[in-house]
Structure 1
Amino acid sequence: MPRIDRYILSQFTALFGFFALVLIAVYWLNRSVVLFEQLIADGQTALVVLEFTALTLPLVISLVLPVAGFAASAYGTNRLAGESELVVMQAAGMSPWRMARPVLVFGVMVGIMVGVLVHGLVPMARARLADRQAEVAQNVVSRFLRSGSFQFPTKGLTLFIGDVAADGTLHDVLIEDGRDPARTTLYTAEEALIAKSDTGPKLVMVKGLTQQAQKGADGNTRLAITRFADLTYDIGGLIGSGRRAAGGDLRDYSTPRLLNPDDALLASARATPAEARLQAHVRLAQPLLAPVAALLGFAVLLIGGYSRFGVGPQMLLAVGALVGLQFLATSGEAMAARDPAMAWPAVYLAPLLGGAVVAAALWLAGRPRGPRRGAPAQGAPA
């Protein structure tokens, strides 16, 4: 690689490290505050909070890196222009296309980092986070299963457990559900067990009775009594601690499995083959945004040439182009989600149109800027 390319690449890489660190810290702190409030409210320790926030970090980084690449490219180009280095390069005969070569290398480097995250670390972290959330939900539910006292997990709900055996069996269980003003349901059971499921812990009651009092249209209250051998009650969702298990979301799986989904994957995620492949295409398109964003920050700032007043208008135009790129990416995913089988190419709309904008900006920056045809040159007689 020529020395001038290494110089530009080193400038952009140093700036990229700074902007990535700042943006990741801000974004991660914002998400961590929400997790901190939820987990501390559930009685979890600081180590659990730290683990959960660490598992969200790969996703945060994958979202921030393209923006950090754009910021480094735009700021670095502005610095090169302010110190007249771009003017020297152009005077030496370097075209905008030639100067964009190290920027493309920089963008590809950022894209590779994003690809490693979205295809490897993010699915692994999401799956692990789902498992830990299920374990935490189980612990939260266990805090409410105390024997010999009436408990009120949420408004309108009463829970009583006569005794908890050493093997975890609950005896003499009573649940009164009065959350619906028009209907009150009373569950009683001799025994009950807590069972795990994909949607959170369930309470399986054995040898019990259901009594439901409901107001009719005439204003009278009717009582319906039903005996059951076993009945499942969603106590996880009831307490508000239910969490999905790993595999319940397409984003938990690796890209090769999404491209060739099997029956187990589709059943666990409750998705169709087209939806699974669409998620894989979304991942394949995401790293492509990084080099396009980096080139946008460089190419748009070259439009207009050198000015002692700086590149403020071009900077605003570059930011607008980045916002438009993100809007196209979001719109493309929404369009593809409506018809995953036929509209999946829409997820590649943002990188393709963004690349076209970059090419147009470099072409405009490379146009000759001599005097207009028919206008006298400076110093020449009219």
Structure 2
Amino acid sequence: MSRFDGYFLRQLLILFGFFTLVLVGVFWITRSVSLFDRVISGGQSAMVFLEFTALTLPTLIRTVMPMAVFAAAVYATNRLSRESEMTVMLATGSSPWRLARAVFVFGLVAGLMMAVISVFLRPASVEQLEQRQAEVAGDVTAQLLNEGEFLHPAYGVTVYIGEIDLDGTLSEVFVSDRRDPLNPVSYSSKTAYLVNNDTGIHLVMLDGIALRLNQQGLTLSSTLFEDASYDISELTNTNNMAKRSLEAISTLELLQDRETISAAEEFTEGELVDELHQRFSWIAICIAVAMAGYATLMLGSFSRFGLWPQILGAFTILVLLEGVRGFVSPVVIDDPKLWGLLYLPAVIGIAISGVFLLVAGRPLIRRRHRDAPGALSRA
């Protein structure tokens, strides 16, 4: 690579890092608000929130990376053109094809990053995230340890804890179990403890009263007790780990054991094929959007005000490619043999880039227009 290629590539990589950080930050703030509310309201600590946030980063980075690649290519090309550096290189005999080498290398570097994230990191992080979410959902102890709130750990069950001491003693405990509509029961006690043993999780209540309503006889019976044990193991939700999502399946499994996965986890062949090739198509789209952003701006001539019409055109191409990606995915799910359509957006982007570079590299077209008879007569 020439010195200018290295300079251009450095500009692209620096801007790519900047736009990636900005976009990840914006998207992360938007998503973390609801995530923080769910985690903290579920009785979990801030460390669980940070863990969940870290596990969602690969998915978030994969989402914003094509936009960051496109923005870096457009911004760097526009700046070099506005500062006449691109004009000088074109005037010295370098063609738009020649100057595109740095952009192509930049697209390859971004594609390699995307390959690591999309093919390896994201499936592993999604699998770990789903496991941790299932553990947190089944952690009834954490859900119950919220003082001063009426909590509903399961349908038909209400729990209230007035105060939690530092030694784990629960004060002013109320439990209402309405899962059996004919015989609802309520417990109230001064103090209680959560005990986890081999038989499950129990709420041991001391010095309380149990009220049971018989709906058939319309009678209310009350029982005073010194101690009573209420089994809350049934409230633990362990079904969430029975089935994983498509995104949590490793790429190696999708390549080798699609039939086994389809039979065991009830995914269709089309869904598995679509997920597999979607991961690889994200790699190609990075190269396509980088080349499309650069090639579109090369259609414009030097202007101190920038290349805003070309920038708008490049953004339109990006929207078009995203629209095609959303259109072909359902087609592949219906017919897995058409998996090649998932690479169509990248092919279209590279084809458009090639046409634009061809036009940008042929100034004779504009010269012929200026030398036309009508133009000479007007002169």
Q: After the TM superposition, which residues 60-71 of structure 1 pair with which residues of structure 2 at under 5 Å, given as runs?
A: 60-71=60-71
Once the two structures are TM-superposed, the CA of residue 70 in structure 1 deviates from its matched residue by: 0.8
Quick one: which of 319, 323, 329 aligns to 2:319?
323
Three-state SS of the structure 1 residue aligned to 2:139 is helix
Indicate conservation of the 8 Å contact 2:140/2:235, yes or no: no
After the TM superposition, which of the residue ranges 100-109 and 248-257 deviates more from structure 2? Answer: 248-257
Could you tell me which residue of structure 1 aligns to residue 337 of structure 2?
A: 342
Could you tell me which residue of structure 1 aligns to residue 211 of structure 2?
A: none
Could you tell me which residue of structure 1 aligns to residue 209 of structure 2?
A: none
Q: After the TM superposition, which residues 150-299 of structure 1 pair with which residues of structure 2 at under 5 Å, given as runs?
A: 153=152, 157-158=156-157, 175-177=177-179, 235=235, 244-245=240-241, 248-261=244-257, 264-299=260-295
Under a length normalisation based on structure 2, what TM-score does the superposition of the two structures give?
A: 0.74
How many residues align structurally? Answer: 319
Quick one: which of 288, 291, 304 aligns to 2:300?
304
Letter matched to residue 291 of structure 2: L
Alignment partners' CA distance in 2, 1:10 and 1:268: 48
Deviations 1:65-99 (A, max 9, x none): 11111111100001001011111111111111111
Deviations 1:133-157 (A, max 9, x none): 11111113774599xxxx8627972
CA spacing shift, 1:156–1:14, aligned 2, 3 Å: closer
1:370 pairs with 2:367: yes
Three-state SS of the structure 2 residue aligned to 1:153 is strand
Quick one: which of 350, 356, 359 aligns to 2:354?
359
Alignment partners' CA distance in 1, 2:93 and 2:244: 57
Gap regions ≥5 residues in structure 2: 160-174, 186-198, 202-214, 216-232
Could you tell me which residue of structure 2 aligns to residue 23 of structure 1?
A: 23
CA spacing shift, 1:381–1:46, aligned 2, 3 Å: closer
1:332 pairs with 2:328: yes
Three-state SS of the structure 1 residue aligned to 2:294 is helix
Deviations 1:88-128 (A, max 9, x none): 11111111111111100001100110110011110111111
CA spacing shift, 1:9–1:262, aligned 2, 3 Å: closer
Once the two structures are TM-superposed, the CA of residue 36 in structure 1 deviates from its matched residue by: 0.3
Once the two structures are TM-superposed, the CA of residue 248 in structure 1 deviates from its matched residue by: 1.2
CA spacing shift, 1:123–1:91, aligned 2, 3 Å: same
Alignment partners' CA distance in 2, 1:145 and 1:268: 37
- Percent identity, please: 38
Once the two structures are TM-superposed, the CA of residue 260 in structure 1 deviates from its matched residue by: 2.2
Q: After the TM superposition, which residues 86-165 of structure 1 pair with which residues of structure 2 at under 5 Å, given as runs?
A: 86-140=86-140, 143-144=143-144, 153=152, 157-158=156-157
Once the two structures are TM-superposed, the CA of residue 296 in structure 1 deviates from its matched residue by: 1.4
Indicate conservation of the 8 Å contact 1:247/1:265, yes or no: no
Under a length normalisation based on structure 1, what TM-score does the superposition of the two structures give?
A: 0.74
Could you tell me which residue of structure 2 aligns to residue 79 of structure 1?
A: 79
Could you tell me which residue of structure 2 aligns to residue 169 of structure 1?
A: none
Once the two structures are TM-superposed, the CA of residue 275 in structure 1 deviates from its matched residue by: 2.4
Once the two structures are TM-superposed, the CA of residue 315 in structure 1 deviates from its matched residue by: 0.8
CA spacing shift, 1:63–1:243, aligned 2, 3 Å: farther
Alignment partners' CA distance in 1, 2:372 and 2:35: 67
CA spacing shift, 1:37–1:376, aligned 2, 3 Å: same
Three-state SS of the structure 2 residue aligned to 1:101 is helix
Three-state SS of the structure 1 residue aligned to 2:178 is strand
CA spacing shift, 1:69–1:142, aligned 2, 3 Å: closer
CA spacing shift, 1:45–1:268, aligned 2, 3 Å: farther
Over the residues paired in the alignment, what is the CA RMSD in angstroms? 3.4
After the TM superposition, which of the residue ranges 42-51 and 17-26 deviates more from structure 2? Answer: 17-26
Once the two structures are TM-superposed, the CA of residue 321 in structure 1 deviates from its matched residue by: 1.1
Once the two structures are TM-superposed, the CA of residue 187 in structure 1 deviates from its matched residue by: 8.3
Alignment partners' CA distance in 2, 1:105 and 1:234: 57
Indicate conservation of the 8 Å contact 1:66/1:290, yes or no: yes
Runs of 4+ in 1 over 6 A off after TM superposition: none
Letter matched to residue 370 of structure 1: R
Letter matched to residue 267 of structure 2: A
Could you tell me which residue of structure 1 aligns to residue 11 of structure 2?
A: 11
Q: After the TM superposition, which residues 15-54 of structure 1 pair with which residues of structure 2 at under 5 Å, given as runs?
A: 15-54=15-54
Alignment partners' CA distance in 2, 1:317 and 1:381: 31
Alignment partners' CA distance in 2, 1:9 and 1:81: 15
Indicate conservation of the 8 Å contact 1:123/1:253, yes or no: yes
Alignment partners' CA distance in 2, 1:43 and 1:268: 34
Alignment partners' CA distance in 1, 2:143 and 2:372: 87
